[in-house]
Chain A
Amino acid sequence: MEIVMSVAIGLLFMAAVYLMLSKSLIRIIIGTGLLSHGAHLLLLTMGGLGGTAPPVVADGVSAAEYADPLPQALILTAIVISFAVTSFFLVLAYRAYQELGTDNMELLRGTEDYE
């Protein structure tokens, strides 16, 4: 299962990077969303997908049978933070569009000129 998951993670990252390299701001934000999904699954897979019981203490379950709680704790933190970042991005895109009338990154390029 871990091998299959690894391939899926690779796919997610690939799609995310491809979207982030595009011109449209909305697509870039979607890309970052995919990137965080990929990162979450990566964390989960790194710890191993074994374990037959959820990491909640219960009678008659030995320590080895619990799923690894550490990646889960990390992912929980990561989900919340990626949500914060995504919403920040969204508002940024929305406001940038309102003020500047475009979401095309090539047109949003800064115009600082020295010389």
Chain B
Amino acid sequence: MSLVFLIFIPILAALFIPLLFKRLGQIHTGWFVLLVPAALFLYYATRLPSVMEGGTYVSELSWIPSLDIAFVAYLDGLSLLFTLLITGIGALVVLYSIFYLDKHREQLHNFYVYLLIFMSAMLGVVQSDHLITLYLFWELTSISSFLLIAYWYTRDRSRFGALKSMMITVFGGLMMLGGFVLLSIMGGTYSIRELIAQAPELAQHDFFIWALVLVLLGAFTKSAQFPFYIWLPDAMEAPTPVSAYLHSATMVKAGIYLVARLTPVFALSEVWMWLVAGVGLFTMVWASFFALKQTDLKGILAFSTVSQLGLIMSLLGVAAAAYHVEGAADTYLKYAAFAAIFHLINHATFKGSLFMIAGIVDHETGTRDIRKLGGLMSLMPVSFTVALIGSLSMAGLPPFNGFLSKEMFLTAMLSLQEFNMFSMDVWWVLFPIIAWVGSVFTFIYSLYFVFHTFAGKHQPEQLPKQAHEAPIGMLISPVFLAALVVMIFFIPNLIGDWLVKPAVAAIQPFLYDSPQNVDIHVSAWHGFNTELFMTLGIFAIGGLMFWTLRKWQHLYDLYPDAISLNRLYDEMMLLSGGGANRFSRIYMTGFIRSYLVYMFSFMTFIVLLTLFLNEAFQIDFSNLAPIGVYEIVILLALVGATLTILGSKSRLTAIIALGAVGYSIALLFVIFRAPDLALTQLVIETISVALFLLAFYHLPQISRKEERMKFRFGNALVALAVGVTMTLVALSAHSQKALPSISEFYKETVYSEAGGGNIVNVILVDYRGFDTLFEIAVLGIAGIGIITMIRLRLTKKEGQHENK
């Protein structure tokens, strides 16, 4: 089956969800949904052996050929890894959600439709080789994330969180689109593969640095890097399966994916390396520090996710540095990319299980407030075991997979001492130090999460519900993930060969031709080296600080809310909303006069500008009709009547003068040989005047307070401008004919083709029959409108309340 179509399978499956929910409501809709990611996972897994050898698959579906836009699915080591994460974790999360979301109380059809849309979008992001469709899928993930966060849309916090994530990620997405467009201008192609092939030339281009910064904005907003991370904690209002899936395992890693994917394009640049590594590392230490301030279980996990994403991001920055080192494949710098991908997999396993445990605790005790929790160890032994495994892995303890990747992270940071460009020879020492500090806080919050929930004193009086262990179905997914956490520790090289090395080869094509060339062997024991001592230091200091946590945790309260980033976001939203409101109030006055003035002035301006810019104004004196006495007399009557309207005191006079104008025009039609027009005009004018008088007759009060129009200079100026413009247009239109008129065709064929003698009538009913049909439709609509208005009664009589 074509790879491109596979991307759309979840979204197609979503079409059937509402039907299944309505018809087969007795069976939890999740069971049907589960089939989609599970089947996709199995299918994609069959591609592993050949991708492991360095094979790639491409499949293309043309979308807008004229703009060179197509869906291109490209499967190599990196995209296959993400694809397996999306479908694999997706299947586990759907399984978990079946027990988490009640089939009677929840709107499951909404939930699963959004989730499936997300799945398609995410597959599209990681498989698209075409930048524009990548952007399309990227925004689709933002939109489905918005819908999922706002799933419980009656809660204020949910809607706030949804909007916040949308504003920030879509802002980043738009910036990224700008970067993509610049890339395509520089490279002349939208294909990522082709851009990678011409990376050295791109780096010489003036736009290069702009494209780099814009693309990074997209990646940083999506992957919740400092200072854009603030949407992620608020996104925790989503149902826990969503948090586990979108906001920890997949969507937030789209930014990581983008950075990894484009590393071969941008690695040449010093800015790229500094920004990615610097922002990533700072995010890591910042978020791990503030994770301890949180009291919501999911809040802790949100900050921890931000921190871990920063860690992976910084590793990718270091991986880019390898581009500049001769024979980097033989130095310690080679570990960075491997560690990034390895930790990405590990993070998906342990963080996924921790989120599910947070959901279980919430589900079974009714609260996620860590201050009320405690002592759940004996009540929820399975959950506790899973949480312990996940947390210790996150803390970097053996025998769990987190230990391996954390160790490798430290190795990669230390390896920067081998890198002596870009002033790194002075500053490299900062990297391992910051990484170490971040790791200490990571260690503390990991223990804080698990022990403050499960150890300590049980406080049943604080809990809304009687705490008990979760149903077995809910435990399957977290237990499975926890088992992976342990397993990966013992078989890291299997994971390395199958999943990590193909991805690393895709990130660093400048180092490796094929995945086999990635010469890295993971082992738990390296002997007594710097990394080991750093790790021991983390355990010692971290353990000590966790021991005394109660004594210093209140120091976080000293941090003033007034200068937080969240406050900045709120102020900006208020300002932009209020500013836009004030701005539109300046010109949206509510007076029809203002709007007409805008329209007339703008029209005059545009028409005059066009006339003069194109030098279109000219008068042709050669082809004029002769001036006759009758015409002049009628025109004088017309002008006189018009002036009467302007100057009249009484509205009655104005109406009669309007009639005079109409009849003068009818006479003009007679003189200019338009008998049909003259007839129609006479009839219509008579009816119009009668209507005016009828309306006037029914409005007797108005006539009593009549007054002459006051002269207003502004209005007169606009009117004069419009009049002059129309005169110029009339003169120019008459004086030049760019194309021969179609009238000649009508004149010649009216008898032979249409069998009629009256050319005007034949045009109306034959050549332009549809116009006339729609004209009748307009008359009909006006008639219906008039009847409706006459029947409409706005003022209700006393005691009549229709809405009650």
Contacts and interface: CB of A to CB of B under 8 A. Distances in A.
> Are A and B part of the same complex?
yes
Interface of A: 1-24, 26-28, 30, 33-34, 37-38, 40-42, 44-58, 63, 66-70, 72-73, 75-77, 79-81, 83-88, 90-95, 97-99, 103, 105-106, 109-110, 112, 114-115
Contacts of B626: 1
Contact of B677 (A70, A75, A86): A75
A57 B631 CA distance: 25
B606 interface: no
Given A14-B723, A44-B668, A91-B785, 14 more contacts: A10-B723, A10-B727, A11-B639, A13-B722, A14-B719, A15-B719, A20-B596, A26-B696, A40-B665, A47-B741, A57-B759, A73-B760, A85-B782, A87-B688
Q: For the complex, would chain B's binding face be called helix, strand, loop or mixed by DSSP majority?
A: helix
B792 interface: yes
B789 A91 contact: yes
A72 B674 contact: yes
A94 B790 CA distance: 9
Contacts of A109: 590-591
Contact of B747 (A69, A85, A106): A69
The 10 closest A-B CB pairs, nearest first, are: A14-B723, A10-B727, A84-B782, A18-B719, A69-B759, A6-B730, A55-B759, A73-B763, A17-B719, A10-B723
B747 to A, nearest CB: 4
A57 B669 CA distance: 18
Contacts of A70: 741-743, 746, 763
Nearest to A58: B757
Contact of A45 (B638, B680, B730, B771): B730
Interface residues of B, number: 99
A41 B786 CA distance: 28
Contacts of A77: 764, 771-772, 775
Contacts of A68: 741, 743
A81 B638 CA distance: 22
B691 interface: yes
Given A79-B680, A80-B779, A41 B720 contact: no
Contact of A93 (B654, B681, B695): B695
7 contacts: A6-B731, A30-B658, A56-B759, A63-B748, A70-B741, A79-B681, A112-B590
A84 B779 CA distance: 6
B624 A2 contact: yes
A69 B746 contact: yes
B673 A53 contact: yes
B763 A15 contact: no
Given A8-B635, A17-B723, A45-B734, A50 B658 contact: no
Given A49-B672, A54-B674, A97-B702, A8 B743 contact: no
B751 interface: yes
A36 to B, nearest CB: 10
A53 B718 CA distance: 39
Given A6-B734, A77-B764, A92-B789, A27 B709 contact: yes
A1 B628 contact: yes
Interface string B755-768: 01111100110001
Contacts of A12: 638, 642, 661, 723
A3 B719 contact: no
Interface in B100-129: none
B764 to A, nearest CB: 5
Contacts of B687: 83
A3 B632 CA distance: 12
Contacts of B673: 51-55, 67
A80 B775 contact: yes
Find the residue from B600, B642, B654, B718 having the highest chain A CB count within 10 A: B642
Contacts of A33: 658, 661-662, 688
A90 B677 contact: no
A46 B620 CA distance: 12
Contact of B775 (A23, A53, A81, A91): A81
Contacts of B590: 109-110, 112
Contacts of A93: 695
A1 B627 contact: yes
A75 B775 CA distance: 12
A106 B410 CA distance: 73
Nearest to B765: A73
B695 A21 contact: no
Contacts of A55: 673-674, 747, 758-760
B757 A57 contact: yes
